[in-house]
Amino acid sequence: MASRSIARVYVETEVASRPRALEILDRLGGAERVECSRYTEVFNRRAQNFRLQKLRPALILARKHRGLVLPAPPGYGVGGRRNFYFSHMLNCVYDCRYCFLQGMYRSANYVVFVNYEDFLAAFERRLEEAPGEDVWFFSGYDCDSLALDSLTGFVAEFLPFFAERPRAWLELRTKSTQIRGLLDREPIPNCVVAFSFTPEEAHARLERGVPSIARRLAAMTELATRGWRLGVRLDPLLWAEDFADQYRRLLDRIFGAVSPASLHSVSLGPFRLPPDFYRRMRRLMPEERLFAGALETVEGMVSYPAELEREMTAFVTAELERRVPADVLFPCVETR
Amino acid sequence: MTFLVVALQSEARPLVGHFRLSGTDAPGPYRLYRNDRITLVVSGIGRIACAAATAYAFARAGEPRNQPWVNIGIAGHANIALGSARLAHRIVDRPTERAWYPSLVFEPPVATAEVVTVDRPELDLPGNALFDMEASAFFATASRFGAVELVQVLKVVSDNRESPVAKIDKALVSRLIEGHLESVAAILDETEALALRLDRRSPDLTEWRRTARFSVSQSRRLAELLERLEVVEKRALSPLELPRLEGAREILAALERRLRLRGAAY
Ligand code: SF4
């Protein structure tokens, strides 16, 4: 388990005696504890190197003061009109070469915001702003939603809120197989557990530490059997000479294992990075073929050349249309 | 190059011997010792001296970025036994109350602790911190020279409530540092291995500059394209491999075309 390799925990003095912080510290056993006044003293300081920190990430327990729930970027969503995202955690135990967190943060340390009740209060406010409407809350933008769940207890603490509020929708986006917290409770219809996939070849080359496709599919089938609703996220779409074959094989595997009845939504997302993220990532991984190749800046984003992106999106969308009902398919791509 | 910064000549002595460093003859405000791998500077006591000596060593070496920097010295602590060593996990600059948190991305060879830097020797030794007179200035300065993960502070306890600061003499200081040469060596090995990960050879533009005049931004673009092509083609490209081209703009366009043709695979 990733949490076993955490050797050091920085704790904001303000949260040091909170029960949730103490529980997490307790679960970490022998990890050394260092107090700090704000997590930003440790996290994302100038001259920190993400790749070096990734060798031995520390954990930071903090309180999130502002921006607990933010409007989701355009194109992010699976049919809802009101979309928000939130991050109870920053950074991820996995190490995907394409992960934009490396461009966003200078630090690879994990930050867990332990003031869960403030997140729930912020959800409540968003729901009150839209009486009678469904509101979506997406988790897994700045982290993997489930990978550290056994340490953070995130699922156990957040799900009861959604269970009592049917118009509050939760998406847990993940590449993890840490589903114990979900299996331990009754499924709720307004929660979607969305698993991300790239083809086997990309997984082997670019997704370090990420559970195999087979294990993720096994987790999905187990959740489906218990009545949980599932999402499939083909994000990012990664190009290769034989991308068509790669994606066809991947889709055969996914939809061979996951029954259409359990599917809430299937979406895809192109590989796009803000230019400053791209520059930083290339500097961190100058030897990485993914960043060295023919990427272009199109409409303020570094991405595959528009033509390639269109070709891939069209191909994968068509393949999905053959496999899943139209009402669960959300291609989510603004075409160029 | 790895840089060691110590305040006292008596701290330097065992390190100079162990790592076989030689004094440099060049005149200068601070004493320097060197070999192919290590530069050691003796700063004198206090924050200002330490910051200045650290910057001086950096400048004298030609301002090399992303190199290991380690401050080694003595410190007081209320009750940790004399001769014990600690690697800093938090450094507090008492005069300003600013704090730094060294990134410990390797298994520390000794336990870690908080180090508080003061301007006058701390006689009361309150709390659970080590007290020294240089660490904060060292850290604030050296962390401007590259990745902060390469900057570390190692302190050896020289005084505590049972053995006050007045008992410290040069021989004791040297003995205390001598007792931790293995830990120093381990920290150097670790930080040097980290530095190696950041060691990037920029493409050699000399030949390319002979073929055309590149402005500063064109040179930057040229270096980026050559670097990317080297990854994609798994070898360095020479200007002789391109058809005869007139001017920097044409060369850059040709390199961009070449990169596009090589595709976007991962
Ligand atoms: S699983 Fe997601 S968040 Fe984690 S490293 Fe991979 S892309 Fe980033």
pLDDT the model gives residue A79: 86
Contact across the interface for B262 and A41, Cβ inside 8 Å = no
Report CA Rg, chain A.
Answer: 20
Residue nearest atom 2 in ligand 1 by C-alpha distance: A144
Domain check: are B115 and B229 in the same one?
no
Question: Which residue, among B39, B1, B4, has the nearest Cα to B138 in the 3D structure?
Answer: B4
Q: Which of B147, B172, B197 is the last residue of a domain?
A: B197
Residue A206 located in a structural domain: yes
Q: B98 CB near a chain A CB, below 8 Å?
A: no
Residue B75 located in a structural domain: yes
Residue A30 located in a structural domain: no
Of how many residues is chain B composed?
Answer: 266
pLDDT at A183 over 90: yes
Whether the Cβ atoms of residue A334 and residue A74 lie closer than 8 Å to each other: yes
Residue B208 located in a structural domain: yes
pLDDT the model gives residue B262: 87
pLDDT the model gives residue B242: 87
- Structural domain of residue A117, as residue ranges? 64-104+113-331
Domain check: are B176 and B209 in the same one?
no
Among the partner residues B101, B144, B262, nearest to A41 by beta-carbon distance: B101
Residue B96 located in a structural domain: yes
Q: What would the pLDDT profile of B177-192 be if each residue is shown by its tens digit?
A: 999 999 999 999 999 9
With H, G, I as helix, E, B as strand and everything else as coil, classify residue A94.
coil
Q: Which of B181, B197, B213 is the last residue of a domain?
A: B197
Question: Which residue, among A1, A190, B144, A22, has the nearest Cα to A9 in the 3D structure?
Answer: A22
Over residues B56-76, mean pLDDT: 97
Q: Residues in chain A whose beta carbon is closer than 8 A to a beta carbon of chain B? A: 7-8, 10, 32, 34-37, 41-42, 45-49, 51-53, 55-56, 58, 97, 202, 205-206, 238-241, 286-295, 304-305, 308
Domain check: are B177 and B205 in the same one?
no
Domain check: are B112 and B212 in the same one?
no
Alpha helices in chain A (DSSP H): 19-28, 50-53, 101-104, 116-129, 149-152, 154-163, 180-183, 200-206, 213-225, 243-257, 275-284, 289-292, 306-323
Over residues A128-133, mean pLDDT: 96
End-to-end alpha carbon distance in chain A? 42
Q: Which residues of A touch B103 (CB under 8 A)?
A: 48, 52-53
pLDDT at A39 over 90: yes
pLDDT at A289 over 60: yes
With H, G, I as helix, E, B as strand and everything else as coil, classify residue A272.
strand
Q: Which of B143, B166, B197 is the last residue of a domain?
A: B197
Question: Which residue, among A65, A54, A60, has the nearest Cα to A42 in the 3D structure?
Answer: A60
Domain check: are B73 and B177 in the same one?
yes
The amino acid that residue B204 corresponds to is D
- Structural domain of residue B240, as residue ranges? 201-261
Domain check: are B191 and B132 in the same one?
yes
What CA–CA distance (Å, rounded) separates A97 from A156? 30
What CA–CA distance (Å, rounded) separates B64 from A124? 53
Over residues A193-218, mean pLDDT: 98
Over residues B187-199, mean pLDDT: 97
Residue B107 located in a structural domain: yes
Characterize B132-164 residue by residue with b for buried, 16 or more Cβ atoms within 10 angstroms of its Cβ, and e for exposed. bbbbbbbbbbbbebbbbbbbbbbbbbbbbeeee
What CA–CA distance (Å, rounded) separates A262 from A228? 7
Residue B249 located in a structural domain: yes
Residue A74 located in a structural domain: yes
Instruction: At A61, list the tokens.
Output: 């327990």
pLDDT exceeding 70 applies to what percent of chain A?
97
Phi/psi of residue B214, each to 5°?
-105, 130
Residue A275 located in a structural domain: yes
Residue B266 located in a structural domain: no
Residue B225 located in a structural domain: yes
Is residue A336 very low, low, confident or very high in pLDDT (cuts 50, 70, 90)?
Answer: low
pLDDT exceeding 70 applies to what percent of chain B?
100
**Total tally of structural domains belonging to chain A:** 1
Residue A157 located in a structural domain: yes
Q: How crowded is residue A35: how many other Cβ atoms within 10 Å of its Cβ?
A: 14
Cβ contacts of residue A73 below 8 Å, gap of 6+? none
Over residues A115-144, mean pLDDT: 96
Q: What would the pLDDT profile of A88-122 be if each residue is shown by its tens digit?
A: 999 999 999 999 999 999 999 999 999 999 999 99
CATH code (residue B98): 3.40.50.1580
Averaged pLDDT of chain A = 95
Domain check: are B117 and B151 in the same one?
yes
Domain check: are B125 and B157 in the same one?
yes
pLDDT at A287 over 80: yes
Among the partner residues A8, A36, A294, nearest to B262 by beta-carbon distance: A294
Contact across the interface for A34 and B147, Cβ inside 8 Å = no
pLDDT at A335 over 80: no
- Helix H or strand E encompassing B69: strand B69-76
Residue B212 located in a structural domain: yes
The ligand 1 atom at the shortest distance from the C-alpha of residue A93 is: 4
Q: What would the pLDDT profile of B208-220 be if each residue is shown by its tens digit?
A: 999 999 999 999 9
Among the partner residues B146, B229, B264, nearest to A239 by beta-carbon distance: B264
Pairing, β A95-96 against β A168-174: unpaired
**Dihedral angle, C-alpha A12, A14, A19, A25, nearest 10 °:** 20
Domain check: are B127 and B235 in the same one?
no
| Lookup result for tokens 């300003």 | B96
pLDDT at A332 over 70: no
Over residues B145-169, mean pLDDT: 96
DSSP string, B34-59: E-SSEEEEE--SSHHHHHHHHHHHHH
Q: What would the pLDDT profile of A251-282 be if each residue is shown by its tens digit?
A: 999 999 999 999 999 999 999 999 999 999 99
Residue A14 located in a structural domain: no
**Total tally of structural domains belonging to chain B:** 2
pLDDT at A288 over 60: yes
Residue A162 located in a structural domain: yes
What CA–CA distance (Å, rounded) separates B47 from B131? 13
Over residues A160-165, mean pLDDT: 98
pLDDT at A333 over 70: no
Domain check: are B237 and B190 in the same one?
no
Domain check: are B159 and B255 in the same one?
no
CATH code (residue A255): 3.80.30.30
End-to-end alpha carbon distance in chain B? 34
